Structures are given as structure tokens and as C-alpha cells.
Amino acid sequence: MGTRWMLDNLRPGMRLNATGPSGTFSYVNVPARKYLFISAGSGITPMMSMTTQLYDEGRDPDIVFVNCAKRPSEIVFRDRMEHMASRTTGIELTWVVERTDRYHPWTGFRGMMNQLILGLVAPDYLEREVFCCGPEPFMQAVREALYGLGYDMDRYHQESFQAPLPDRSDVPDDVTLDDAEMAEVEFAVTGTTVKIAQTETLLSAARDAGALIPSGCTFGVCGTCKVKKTAGEVHMVHNGGITDEDTEAGYILACCSNPIGKVTIEA
């Protein structure tokens, strides 16, 4: 929400009081021989920082680093992580994506994080100190997977980048999206129109169309990708990143909205 607020309110020349990074989510507080850093979306940020520090200190780290993203093109810090991993044997990288980018072969994991993937990427997970960061549903899945595998949860550490989730049990989710169904998205400001599968998000469509929609978490949490829809229907399942007032005013979150039929966006 902070990112969205800054985009809406900050103007050139404003003065801000800022404080440095703080918090206790750091391997420094729990020294261990082996780590498992597991994250989703922009939850990769503290994992990248911790890995960079261990790498820069010239130690011989033993890190299994797992990041989950919607698709390969949305992996944050991918080049930087691969650069570090290519220079030491102590950083084992794994990417897990929900779906692939069209016309780009993908040989990594595909699907949602689960016990099977966990066991494959870190067979010695019982020996590792685990750090986890991502949207609450993701962290809940990781917690449940570890707990179910008999992991000592005292060695599990997590960082949440969102307020507690609102109760969304009242939101009907009876729409089944179809890969074969195409939708048409018009970006009114950019003046481009793209055809994409219904299962693609409007954020993906914007990237294909060269339209600028800022994004952050890509999981419907931070509100950065809020944009006005001026025509058509979308199917949106977010994680608290938009208010009811905004949705009533016609705004949507591009990262978690799928177009139904023909849609026009103010971007």
C-alpha cells in the first residue's frame, strides 16, 4: 500500500523523512550452517539481500534459494541471482512458475509450491534454517508443507509484507477461465490493442502492448498496479490490495485481473 500511496501522492520537490532498514528478519539473528530461502513474487527482496551479504562476505554459503512467480518474465532479480549462483557452488537456485511465457521454452518447475517440490529442491530441508517471505496464502502453504513433513517449526522464520488478509469468504469465485478463450484488451492511453488468452492477466497484456502499468508484488497485495477500467468485464481475485470504493469507481488491479471479452483500460 505504501508504494501505491507514493505513486498517487508524492510530487517532485517534496521532502520526506526516512529511516533506514530495520526488523529482525535476518539470518544474522539465527546463524546456521545451511539455509533454505523460499519466497514468492517480490518476497524475494529480503532473500536477495541476505544472499548478497553472505556472498559478499566471501563465506562459503550453503543456501537453497527458491522463488515462485507467475511466469518466468516476472521473476524479480533473476539476472542478479543467477550471476551470484554462477560464481559459487553454495547457492542452489530454483524458480517455480505458475505458467510459462509464450514462445519461451522453460525447463524449470511449473506449478504451485508443494511438499513434492520442496523435497526435490532441498532433500535435506530438515537440516536447514528456513526463511520465507511472500503473500500470506503462499506462506501458509509453505508452513503447512513443512509442518506436514515433520520440520521443527522453531527454525522457521517469515516476513509478511501485507496487513492481515480481509475475510474474502463472501467473494464468489465461480468463474472458470479457459486457456483457449481469447480476449481483447485496448489500452486507451497507449493506443494499442492486444489479443490474449483469458488466463493471462491484464498486467501481462500491458507488457505485450508496451503500455505502462507500474507493478510491485504481482499478487494483488500492494495495489501498485491499480488502473481504471473504462469498458468491459474482468475477473479479479486480489489479496486486499484495492478498496471496495476503488472497485466501485471502476478501478482494478492489473496483476490479478483476467479479461473477459473486450476490455478497455486507461493506460
Question: CB 53: neighbour CB atoms within 10 A?
Answer: 14
| Between 96 and 253, CB nearer to ligand FES | 253
> DSSP letter at 38?
E
Q: By CB under 6 A, name the one of 132, 241, 263, 267 that touches ligand FES.
A: 241
35: nearest Cα among 19, 46, 23, 22:
46
CA dihedral 96, 100, 103, 106 (to 10 degrees): 30
Least distance to ligand FES from the beta carbon of 5, Å? 13
Q: By CB under 6 A, name the one of 96, 121, 253, 265 that touches ligand FES.
A: 253
What is d(CA 144, CA 150) in angstroms, rounded to the nearest whole number?
10
132: nearest Cα among 123, 177, 122:
122
Least distance to ligand FES from the beta carbon of 4, Å? 8
- In a 3-state reduction of DSSP, which class is residue 61? coil
| Between 46 and 220, CB nearer to ligand FES | 220
Q: By CB under 6 A, name the one of 139, 197, 222, 227 that touches ligand FES.
A: 222
Q: By CB under 6 A, name the one of 51, 162, 224, 258 that touches ligand FES.
A: 224
Name residues contacting ligand FES, limited to 182-221 (CB under 6 A): 215-218, 220-221
Residue 255 in the binding site for ligand FES (CB under 6 A): yes
What is d(CA 155, CA 33) in angstroms, rounded to the nearest whole number?
13
| Between 61 and 240, CB nearer to ligand FES | 240
Beta bridge partners, 242, equal none
How many amino acids of this chain bind ligand FES (CB under 6 A)?
A: 13
- In a 3-state reduction of DSSP, which class is residue 183? strand
Give the footprint of ligand FES on this chain (CB under 6 A): 215-218, 220-225, 241, 253, 255
